[in-house]
Structure 1
Amino acid sequence: MTLKKLSVEHFNQSYQLAQYAFRFADDQQHRNGFYQLMKHSTIYGAFYKQQLASQVIATPLKVQLFHQVFDMAGIGLVSSDPSFRGQGNIDQLMQQMLEDCYQNGVTLSYLDPFSYPFYRKYGYELTFERICYDLESSKWPDSAKAAGYVYRMNWEDAKDGVKQIDQQSDKHKYGGLLCEDWWYDYKFKEKTNVYFALYYNQQDQPEGYLIYKIESGKFICIRWLNLTVEAYKGLNRYIFSHKDSTERITFEKGYDRNEGVFYP
């Protein structure tokens, strides 16, 4: 088995292996997104002859932790061809990736594991807990009318407001991601099934946003961020307005035991 770092010349092999492993739709939207990710990442690959057997994708990102910015390697789409599983390929690739992080002064690495015990042996540990709210739409609590207003718009119209709100929020200061422009576009530009709603105050300044999708009768909140209680009320009422057109409403977020979700 030969280990090497992939280039865009390996796009088809890398994309096809990731698509096979994670079973996302094989369409132009996902191809464009994967190409964008590949351009900004280091992809560690294990090859058997000319065939890509396993890969680990490490994306250089930045996070803020207690007023200090750290370099971080975001690990994703770790995948192996079934023909080559159990041969230690991922172990070798992870070791190489971590060695490169050490040599380059990258202090942190995040991932969303399929198995905690598997990644714990490389030094990863549970750090961020999450909580999921999943209610029948009719039981989602309403809010009082807000002073401002909510607009639904496409990504090109929403992105400046989203970035402005992210920059003003304290949420990212405790280990959260500091998003670069390419990352925003990678996450949202190509998503044809995702909607964006922004709350504006009476001075027409954005104070909150909601990114969501509607699938199989479910209203799914992908990201929901408020700078003010008024923004919360406006966007929560917007969610509540879908109670008759959807069956369930779900919202998954980082868990903070000192923070409530629903305000009066």
Structure 2
Amino acid sequence: MGVDVKLDPVKDEARFYQLTLYAFNRQDTPQRQAFFGQLYRHSLAYGAIEDGELSSGFLAIPFETQFHQNRIPMRGISYVSSYPEDSGHGNITKLMHRFFEDCQADQVPLAYLAPFSFPFYRRFGFEQVFDRVHYHVQTRDVGKLALPDFAKTDEVSIKRESFAQAGPSIAAFHEAHPFNQGGGTIRSAWWQDYLTLKHATWEVATCLVAGKLEGYVIYSRDGNQQLSIQEFFWTSKTAYWQLLNFIARHKGTYAAFDYISGDPRPRIDAFSDPHVKKSMTATSEAYMMARIVDLPMFFKYYHVPTDRDFKLTLTVTDDFLPANNRTWQLTGQNGTIACQPTDDAAELTIDIRELTQILLGYRRAEDLMQLNLNTDQAAALNRLVQPNLVPMLWDYF
């Protein structure tokens, strides 16, 4: 078996595409060829070659993520695929080793992926970090929406466009929004084009207040059955209520409203009658995993409040990446955390998966049920974390 670290961006696209069609049981269509080609040509493709044939592989997509005001390079793993005759041969594991080596060489300290199996990817040091809330309600149970007085203004205008038309204009709004600063991605121009190619049925309603963009909804319409919402962002309560009213006005046309939100905090009070006997449900769903690839490099990008001065000696266990698997001296000063290897005795030990959950805001240290921390140890770990960090991810790859 040979491993092509980065498959050729021209000659290997077709056979990687065929691998994904087989592995994910997808139909070949001109639209799929278009959006897949856009993704492939902007990604790093890893593939296991046996007897000259591609047997397994995945794509690594370059992104920048946001954690409050910090931007951190990240690679999103996508289309992890194997032909059935190659399954279980360990080729994905070999490719993962090479992928992480490249991340470290290219100064990329973070990786995300959408798992088909959480236990499978925990072997590589990934852990659950992003959850979503799935809202569903039959429109018969959507009552009359009463706008607050402050939201009743002649200065409001709602504009409907296709996603292709509206995408560039809402990209900056999306990027700057607090919802996208808990690990969300920066949507570069090529990624915006990819989303447009992939989601040809998406539509956008923007809300302008006195000519200023203050919110938007991305949605799609499934015949008369369902209005599906992909994103709902707002920066003012007027825009929130106006867009909610826009959605509610579809209740005479569709049987149900559906929304899978990247914000893991349920907002069931948005519904006039969320009683259990009604059809409205808000279900928490596990979404994506993440892992810190290079701990010292991660802290070069990641900052905490400037009034946090501390020293912590921490043993990190990482079964897949030996470079992280050691004892570290963490020193916090003026908002920066220095991370240096040390031979000193550690104050506590933590696995890279649990440390990723803490640093990305998914769990506070005292809530990690795998660790039996005392109060001082939990407080020491929590000083490493940016305040009020709620992990949210709105893109799928």
Find the partner of 1:169 among 168, 177, 180: 177
1:101 counterpart residue number: 103
Measure the CA separation in 2 of the matches of 1:209 and 1:17: 37
- Verify the 8 A CA contact 2:220 2:229 in the aligned structure 1: yes
User: Deviations 1:117-150 (Å, cap 9, x if unpaired)?
Assistant: 1111111111112111111122245352653121
Measure the CA separation in 2 of the matches of 1:171 and 1:228: 13
User: Deviations 1:4-58 (Å, cap 9, x if unpaired)?
Assistant: 0212211111111112222344211111111111111001001122221111110
Question: What is the Cα deviation at residue 156 of structure 1?
Answer: 3.9
Runs of 5+ unmatched residues, structure 2 = 273-397
Measure the CA separation in 2 of the matches of 1:187 and 1:31: 13
Structure 1 runs (4+) greater than 4 angstroms displaced: 258-261
2:7 counterpart residue number: 6
Find the partner of 1:135 among 137, 159, 167: 137
AA in 2 matched with 1:11: E
AA in 1 matched with 2:2: T
1:193 counterpart residue number: 201
- Verify the 8 A CA contact 2:218 2:230 in the aligned structure 1: yes
1:9 is paired with a residue whose SS is: coil
Quote the RMSD (CA, aligned, Å): 2.0
Measure the CA separation in 2 of the matches of 1:28 and 1:218: 26
Measure the CA separation in 1 of the matches of 2:2 and 2:266: 49
Question: What is the Cα deviation at residue 161 of structure 1?
Answer: 2.6
- Verify the 8 A CA contact 1:207 1:231 in the aligned structure 2: yes
How is 1:34-183 mapped onto 2 (pairs within 5 angstroms)?
Answer: 34-140=36-142, 142-144=145-147, 146-147=152-153, 148-183=156-191
Question: What is the Cα deviation at residue 252 of structure 1?
Answer: 0.9
AA in 1 matched with 2:196: F
Distance 1:240 1:38, change over 3 A: same
- Verify the 8 A CA contact 2:163 2:218 in the aligned structure 1: no
2:124 is paired with a residue whose SS is: coil
2:216 counterpart residue number: 209
- Verify the 8 A CA contact 2:133 2:266 in the aligned structure 1: no
Runs of 5+ unmatched residues, structure 1 = none
Measure the CA separation in 1 of the matches of 2:69 and 2:261: 22
Question: What is the Cα deviation at residue 260 of structure 1?
Answer: 6.7
- Verify the 8 A CA contact 2:206 2:217 in the aligned structure 1: yes
AA in 1 matched with 2:62: P
Distance 1:261 1:162, change over 3 A: farther
- Verify the 8 A CA contact 2:158 2:207 in the aligned structure 1: yes
Distance 1:146 1:59, change over 3 A: farther
User: Deviations 1:225-245 (Å, cap 9, x if unpaired)?
Assistant: 111111111211121122122
Identity of counterpart residues, as a percentage?
Answer: 30
In the superposition, the TM-score normalised over structure 2's length comes to: 0.62
Question: What is the Cα deviation at residue 62 of structure 1?
Answer: 0.3
- Verify the 8 A CA contact 1:128 1:255 in the aligned structure 2: no
- Verify the 8 A CA contact 1:146 1:233 in the aligned structure 2: no
2:230 counterpart residue number: 222
AA in 1 matched with 2:161: M
Question: What is the Cα deviation at residue 190 of structure 1?
Answer: 4.9
- Verify the 8 A CA contact 1:55 1:79 in the aligned structure 2: yes
Question: What is the Cα deviation at residue 197 of structure 1?
Answer: 1.5
Distance 1:174 1:259, change over 3 A: farther
Measure the CA separation in 1 of the matches of 2:221 and 2:59: 29
Measure the CA separation in 2 of the matches of 1:219 and 1:107: 38
Distance 1:67 1:33, change over 3 A: same
Measure the CA separation in 2 of the matches of 1:222 and 1:23: 24
- Verify the 8 A CA contact 2:206 2:215 in the aligned structure 1: yes
AA in 2 matched with 1:155: F
AA in 2 matched with 1:49: D
1:54 is paired with a residue whose SS is: strand
Measure the CA separation in 1 of the matches of 2:152 and 2:183: 31
Measure the CA separation in 1 of the matches of 2:197 and 2:259: 21
Question: What is the Cα deviation at residue 255 of structure 1?
Answer: 3.7
Distance 1:262 1:47, change over 3 A: same
Distance 1:138 1:165, change over 3 A: farther
Question: What is the Cα deviation at residue 159 of structure 1?
Answer: 2.2
2:257 counterpart residue number: 249
In the superposition, the TM-score normalised over structure 1's length comes to: 0.92
Is 1:237 equivalent to 2:239 in the alignment?
Answer: no
AA in 2 matched with 1:111: L
Question: What is the Cα deviation at residue 215 of structure 1?
Answer: 2.4
Question: What is the Cα deviation at residue 116 of structure 1?
Answer: 0.7
